[in-house]
Structure 1
Amino acid sequence: MNTKKIMIYGAYGYTGELIAREAVARGYRPLLAGRDAKKLQPLAEELGLPAMAISLDATETLERSLRDIDVVIHCAGPFSATAEPMMRACINAGTHYQDITGEMEVYRAAHELDAEAKAAGIVLCPGTGFDVIPTDCLAAALHKAIPSATHLTLGFDSDSGLSPGTAKTSIESLGVGGAVRRNGKIEVIGHGELTREINFGRGEKFAVAIPWGDVATAYYSTGIQNIEVYIPMSPRRAKKLKRMNKFRWLLRMNWMQNWLKGKVDKSVRGPSEEKRSEQQTWVWGEVRNDRRGERKIGRVVTANGYDVTVSGSLAVMEFLLGYKGDGGYFTPSKLCGYELVEKLPGSGIIKIGID
């Protein structure tokens, strides 16, 4: 039995529960926490674990509770609202922080808290799930292949559907638009504005640029100034997505966001364990230096996104439980090395070549 103290906040969400169950299977006894005692207690009783209902608004109580905790795995979305209060509480309590967000604004907020985390001697490592371990590790490996690279393009082709939390994050982006990094700065672009053909690992596919977290994190990991991220999409669906640009003003209104997220609560459910075991993800990347005529392609195959999130979160947690280094903000690859993705169950090795 491991005696290190872990808190899983948001443990009764779909992914939080998966992480809690796997942590118990590995011999850990995490403290399950969240805002809703009624949702929390049944899982805690089933797993025989301690539980604590606590609001992120109860700052003093939260910080006091965290002082005995070594690592927090934060699973409670929407992270745009919940991540910063938890990160600040961890800094004040001296507790390492990690989460499973894919939201760029959370990564940017964590990066801005780097100096405070260093002073407190704690690690802030958001994005320790499928968002963004596979792509972040591939980006770091590609950068090692061409250290002078000026452009990085990433993408993934997944059989996995969306979890309720990821679906809600996607809804938030509808009213904002897409995003890329150009000359070191994040730029908002129209939905469906950038398209190209990509062989993610199982043949050429039409692909569309999306506002994925690596637009922020890959820059912190590699320093590459120009970054785009793509997923496969049918040309017909891409045209529909592009037409949504006319309604971005409407899609970002609070009542519309709440209505769309309510539909997610009623209709989106995470897949069964059997379904997850049948799914894989093909991760692809391209790095280049046009001035020198250099270009490399990288690929890695992983398990489905949910299982990567579970195993990735626990791999980073275990790394932090034995961590003796400096505090600060880290991406997964900066903290654990780009080999992290290769160590996860269901992952292959990163392969880099000219195509």
Structure 2
Amino acid sequence: MGEIWIIGATGRAGRNISAGLRAGGHRIVLVGRNAQRLAEAAATIEASGGVPPRTLVTDDPLAEIAAGRPDVVVNTVGPFGTTTVPTAQACVVAGSHYVDLANEFQPVRSLLEMDSAARAAGSTLVTGAGFGTLANEALVYELCAGRPSPIRVRVAAMPVVDGLGPAVLASVVDAAATGGLIYRDGRLVRTRLGAHLRRIPLPDGTTRATVAVPTGELEAALRGSGAGDVIATSSEVPTGRMARAALPIVGAILRVEALRRTVIRLIDRWQLTPPATPGEVSWAYASAEWEGGETRQAWLQTGEGYAFTSRVAAMVAARLAEGDARPGAFTPGALFGADLARSAGATITLDSTTKDLR
């Protein structure tokens, strides 16, 4: 069984993933910049029994990957627009497998474009190993299994989270700077950030408001369905009228590189975090429409979103370390199918309807 490095092991995701892998008997290395926090994380894991994990203190994890050639690297450090491609490239050179938690559109798309390089190196690269990307693409795969490609797909992520760290807020800033994006006729086109407001119907009889944001599931839904028109929406962005009016202005401001980097530095310095989303159930939703008007929809239900993300990332890393790998670049659902979401604790409900879901 191979050695798994967790970069950013002292953060919430890193600690949860490390604990899950250690509980499964995997050899893990906790990687980070702060020696004291790494020691504390290692002590917590050691207290649960077994051999204590190894720690690696470094300001240059890419150089350490090149020197150490780990079997699997799990990248939990955002913003992923900055860390995904360089870390994945280091893994390709080292012949290592790679997993990250990215859910911003650009890093997910950029990682998937590394497919040829990964196959040539014999590395498996997995991006979006978490709630947003997997939950939505699992629904797309379920809806489209054994059927021709639909003409239109819409997905929505509606997680509840107990609390997230500064790296997640930095990723939100990067995503906002990307602006609104959708696929139309198979082409990526600009749309207003926060457009396409829709109240998503849930099986419990309630609805949740979502708006279009540039997330990793936009690319995952396109690739998983083969549809020409794809929209990805989320409840994590404010959906009130005034907030939606302000979103394009905020996005335009954040597109100024120097200003965006300043904001991200302040987030890290002051340890700013996104607000928690209260509740007990996280939902994902997908609808698909075919020629002739047939429409199907599906829902995924699970608990707290970040706990689900940690389980997914740990499961993907464990399977790669155990040899269940295929060279190339993938989202988790593309590599392991919709059942990966079920194994991580989600339930999926399918329904057919003829309603207009656009």
Q: Normalising to structure 2: TM-score of the pair?
A: 0.86
Change (3 A) 1:14 1:96: same
Question: Secondary structure at the residue paired with 1:131?
Answer: helix
Letter in 1 for 2:210: A
- Alpha-carbon offset, residue 256 of structure 1: 5.0
Task: Answer whether contact 2:118 2:329 (CA < 8 A) is retained.
Answer: yes
Structure 1 counterpart of 2:197: 195
Return the match for 1:42 from 40, 43, 47.
40
Pick one of 246, 249, 256 that aligns with 1:246: 249
SS in 2 for 1:30: strand
Q: Matched residue of 1:32: which SS?
A: strand
CA contact (8 A) 2:4 2:72 kept: yes
Partner in structure 1 of residue 273 of structure 2: 268
Please tell me whether the aligned partners of residues 156 and 282 of structure 1 are also in contact (alpha carbons under 8 angstroms): yes
Does structure 1 conserve the Cα–Cα contact (< 8 Å) formed by 2:152 and 2:227?
yes
Equivalent residues, number: 344
Q: Would you say the 8 A contact 1:8–1:31 is kept in 2?
A: yes
Query: Is contact 2:78–2:168 with CA below 8 Å preserved after alignment?
Result: no
Q: 1:25/1:107 Cα in 2 relative to 1: closer, same or farther (>3 Å)?
A: same
Q: Is the 1:201–1:284 contact (alpha carbons within 8 Å) kept by the matching residues of 2?
A: no
Structure 1 position 149, deviation (Å): 0.3
Find out whether 1:53 has 2:54 as its counterpart: no
1:255 and 2:253 matched: no
After superposition, the Cα gap between the structure-2 partners of 1:170 and 1:123, relative to the gap in structure 1 and judged at 3 Å, is same
Structure 2, unpaired ranges of 5+ = 46-51
Question: Does the alignment pair 1:207 with 2:210?
Answer: yes
Amino acid at match of 1:5: E
Counterpart Cα distance in 1 of 2:275 and 2:196: 30
Give percent identity, aligned residues only.
24
In 1, Cα distance between equivalents of 2:250 and 2:75? 33
Greater Cα offset, 159-168 or 130-139 = 159-168
Corresponding residue of 1:91: 92
Give the 5 Å matches for 1:255-334: 255-259=259-263, 262-263=266-267, 265-268=270-273, 279-289=280-290, 291-323=291-323, 326-334=326-334
Query: Which residue of structure 2 aligns with residue 159 of structure 1?
Result: 160
Are the counterparts in 2 of residues 11 and 17 from structure 1 also a CA contact under 8 Å?
yes
Cα distance in 2 for partners of 1:148, 1:247 equals 36
Which residue identity is paired with 2:189? E
Give distance in 1, aligned partners of 2:271 and 2:62.
29
Matches of 2:222 and 2:20, distance apart in 1: 31
> 1:228 offset after TM fit, Å?
0.8
> Does 2:220 align with 1:217?
yes
The 2-side partners of 1:153 and 1:104 are apart by 15
Gaps of 5+ in 1: none
Q: Quick one: distance in 2 between partners of 1:146 and 1:181?
A: 21
**Cα gap change, 1:114 to 1:128, in 2 (>3 Å):** same
Corresponding residue number in structure 2 for 1:228: 231
Number of the residue aligned with 2:27 = 29
| Partner AA of 1:41 in structure 2 | A
Q: Taking structure 1 as reference, are residues 162 and 212 closer, same or farther at Cα in structure 2, changes over 3 Å only?
A: farther
Report the residue type matching 2:194 in the other structure.
G
Shift of the alpha carbon at 1:162?
5.3
1:102-121 matches, within 5 Å, as: 102-121=103-122
Measure, in 2, the Cα distance between the counterparts of 1:262 and 1:221: 37
Deviation of 1:34 after TM superposition, in Å, equals 2.3
Amino acid at match of 1:262: L
TM-score, scaled relative to structure 1: 0.87
Cα gap change, 1:83 to 1:206, in 2 (>3 Å): closer
Asked whether the equivalents of residues 62 and 87 of structure 2 are also in contact (C-alpha less than 8 Å), the reply is no
Contact 1:121–1:327 under 8 Å retained in 2: yes
Moved more, 233-242 or 167-176: 233-242
Specify the alignment match of 2:187 in structure 1: 185
* Post-superposition offset of 1:174: 2.5
CA RMSD of the aligned region, Å?
2.6
